[in-house]
Structure 1
Amino acid sequence: MSLDTAAVKPMERLSAALAQDMDQVNLLIRDRMASEHAPRIPEISAHLIEAGGKRLRPMLTLAAARMCGYEGPHHVHLAATVEFIHTATLLHDDVVDESNKRRGRPTANLLWDNKSSVLVGDYLFARSFQLMIETGSLRVLDILANASATIAEGEVLQLTAAQSLKTDEAIYLKIVRGKTAALFSAATEVGGVIAGAPEEHVTALFTYGDALGIAFQIVDDLLDYGGATADTGKNIGDDFRERKLTLPVIKAVAKADANERAFWVRVIEKGKQDEGDLEHALELLAKHDAMASARADAMEWVTKAKDALAPLPPSDLRDLLIDLADYVVSRIS
């Protein structure tokens, strides 16, 4: 599952194209995650924000704004906003999931405690809203506030649905649109809005972000059952151990016979997992071609993402965003 040189190039080229803007974003992030009275806030924030993440979501905002001809300063504020929202959700997710590893490092809740992680996440959410307001755009505030609510809805839906074999692909898509794609689509949409782009272009950017986010999450779910730990930054089988009914498992359950369904009921719904159960789960995924089917779904969403950019004028950044969509699925090639 390692990334070859060709696969890495789109991220590297996008990062290089946006380097000056990203420098400003990083400076703003460091400034706004500071706290005069609670030094634990920048400690925990920095642990995650500076842990080697690729800053994909803020780069999408910068790229969208620049692609639409924006020359002002507020795309930097919006990119920082998107990163703060993303970081806040990760801090909260790790507490909910009782995770101990994120981006290859111990999680904040493991190094500090759950209370600190939740409260610092809340602080970053508050900072993100301050940054939104500084743009002076009510529409931007509306988009990002709605995205924040949608993310929370997606996470709550996952709590109630992820351990039920009644969860089908339609419910899975609702979860993914909430917890992952909502921030991708908001990130690209606000870039177009702040640039004053035509509505057709703003809609195109939203659709691109939505489809890219869905493909990204499907790939992430696939990697949990087949990626190298160094590539994913987490332990293989974490979703299985956490009893998350992700797309590959949903597809296998849909084709399961009585004995296989009994296995899934035991390990997912009842949470009774024994030695060798992960290996058996992998055998069932292979038996029903669940991984290949999920990968095909991811490819379809990538195609939708690339097609969505058609109304936008040709540019190097548009080409980079198209290449970026291909890069997302290259992680499971």
Structure 2
Amino acid sequence: MSVAHPKPDVAARPSVAAIADLTKADMSRVNALILSMAGSNVELIPQIADHLISSGGKRLRPMLTIASALAFGYRGEAHVKLAASVEFLHTATLLHDDVVDESDLRRGRKTARMIWGNQASVLVGDYLLGQAFRMMVEVGVMRALAILSNASAVIAEGEVWQLSAAKSMATSEKDYMAVIDAKTAALFSAATEVGPVIAQAPQEAQDAMRLYGRDLGLAFQLVDDVLDYGGSADALGKNVGDDFREGKITLPVILAYARGSEEERVFWRSAMEEGENGNDALRHARSLLAAHGALDETKERARAFGRSAFAATRAVPDPAAREALADVVAFCIDRIN
């Protein structure tokens, strides 16, 4: 059973239009704050920050922060700064990721490291992290600061864990899920939890929104894992096949390796560990993934996390916000339908 849209007779494919409409007014303030806080007398900082910030991303994570605050009746100013902080944490992570992964393309454009170099990309990422924490402190809600600062540490831990497991076919399914829980889901979870926290919603609501964000983040990453072997650069935000060419061990690869023959395992070790990963190897990898149902299994795992995230929206009292948050889940899963 796949994640259903809350309106069963809707003909159009799921989108993020509802959450964009719900958060439009506040997101205009978030965007203005992002541009302001990305400024600096050091010319290279706004150049690199603007390159990534203006590259066409949906700003989904800050929208989730705004929506999760409005969903529980928040009427202050803190959600704007926290949403901008979430976007800066995400942007800094992307800058660092592209350096670690040696990525050339991000959302159809050259990565910052390809234009300005690795050192500048890392340092500007550090600057954005500093600006994020500055805004968190200005909000002055210790629980929100604790949630977002913990997420920042967990993300970094996940990055190091992934680096240590890179190009190793010994990576277990359990280890991989722990990595994406830290690397991807942690920020989604924090982004949605801080909303009900500043709204002083009941603990049950805070717990539900933390679960919503975590499971949405896990579903989001697993969908990306599938798309890397059969999607488009537009849908994925990077070159299709990049994970394979970079030797990234993702869930479909782990499943196919576990189910394959010894000859197939030799192929996977050669491709992922020794860099024998050209176009012919990518085609063979796709055939093995299909033969062992690895992509279908990963899709079903993503749908299961989507169902859990969808169920968590029942804790949201505001109907418009509840529908908007459910639509985000449907949009995420629809990318593989």
TM range (shorter): over 0.9
Residues 257-307 of structure 1 deviation map (CA, whole Å, 9 limit, x = unaligned): 010000011111222334510000000001001111100000000001011
Counterpart pick for 1:95 among 99, 102, 105 = 99
Q: What SS class does the counterpart of residue 72 from structure 1 fall into? A: coil
Counterpart pick for 1:152 among 156, 160, 166 = 156
Q: Partner residue of 2:29?
A: 24
Q: Partner residue of 1:15?
A: 20
Counterpart pick for 1:125 among 122, 129, 134 = 129
Preserved contact between residue 81 and residue 135 of structure 2 (Cα < 8 Å): yes
Q: Partner residue of 1:106?
A: 110
State the percentage of identical aligned residues. 51
Preserved contact between residue 201 and residue 311 of structure 1 (Cα < 8 Å): yes
Q: Which blocks of at least 5 consecutive residues in structure 2 are unaligned?
A: 1-10
Residues 106-125 of structure 1 deviation map (CA, whole Å, 9 limit, x = unaligned): 00000111111000000000
Preserved contact between residue 184 and residue 218 of structure 2 (Cα < 8 Å): yes
Q: What RMSD over aligned residues (CA atoms) do the two structures have, in Å?
A: 1.3
Q: Matches of residues 43-54 of structure 1 in structure 2 within 5 Å?
A: 43-54=47-58
Q: Partner residue of 2:3?
A: none
Preserved contact between residue 245 and residue 278 of structure 2 (Cα < 8 Å): no
AA paired with 2:18?
R
The 4+ residue runs of structure 1 with deviation greater than 6 A are none
The structure, 1 or 2, with the larger RCO (C-alpha pairs under 8 Å, 6+ apart) is 2
Counterpart pick for 1:245 among 242, 246, 249 = 249
Deviation at 1:131, TM superposition (A): 0.4
Residues 3-35 of structure 1 deviation map (CA, whole Å, 9 limit, x = unaligned): xx82353x1221112110000000000110000
Counterpart pick for 1:6 among 5, 12, 35 = 12
1:320 and 2:324 aligned = yes
Give the Cα–Cα distance (whole angstroms) in 2 for the partners of residues 176 and 120 of structure 1.
Answer: 24
Task: Give the 3 Å change call, closer, same or farther, for CA 12–65 of structure 1 in structure 2.
Answer: same
Which moves more between the two structures, 61-70 or 230-239? 230-239
Deviation at 1:231, TM superposition (A): 2.2
Give the Cα–Cα distance (whole angstroms) in 2 for the partners of residues 20 and 282 of structure 1.
Answer: 44
Q: What SS class does the counterpart of residue 282 from structure 1 fall into? A: helix
Give the Cα–Cα distance (whole angstroms) in 1 for the partners of residues 257 and 301 of structure 2.
Answer: 17
Preserved contact between residue 162 and residue 246 of structure 1 (Cα < 8 Å): no
Which moves more between the two structures, 157-166 or 238-247? 157-166
1:190 and 2:194 aligned = yes
AA paired with 2:22?
A
1:232 and 2:236 aligned = yes
1:58 and 2:88 aligned = no
1:181 and 2:195 aligned = no
Q: Which blocks of at least 5 consecutive residues in structure 1 are unaligned?
A: none
Give the Cα–Cα distance (whole angstroms) in 1 for the partners of residues 43 and 14 of structure 2.
Answer: 36
| Pairs aligned (count) | 328
TM-score after normalising by structure 1 = 0.96
Preserved contact between residue 154 and residue 176 of structure 1 (Cα < 8 Å): yes
AA paired with 2:23?
L
1:221 and 2:186 aligned = no
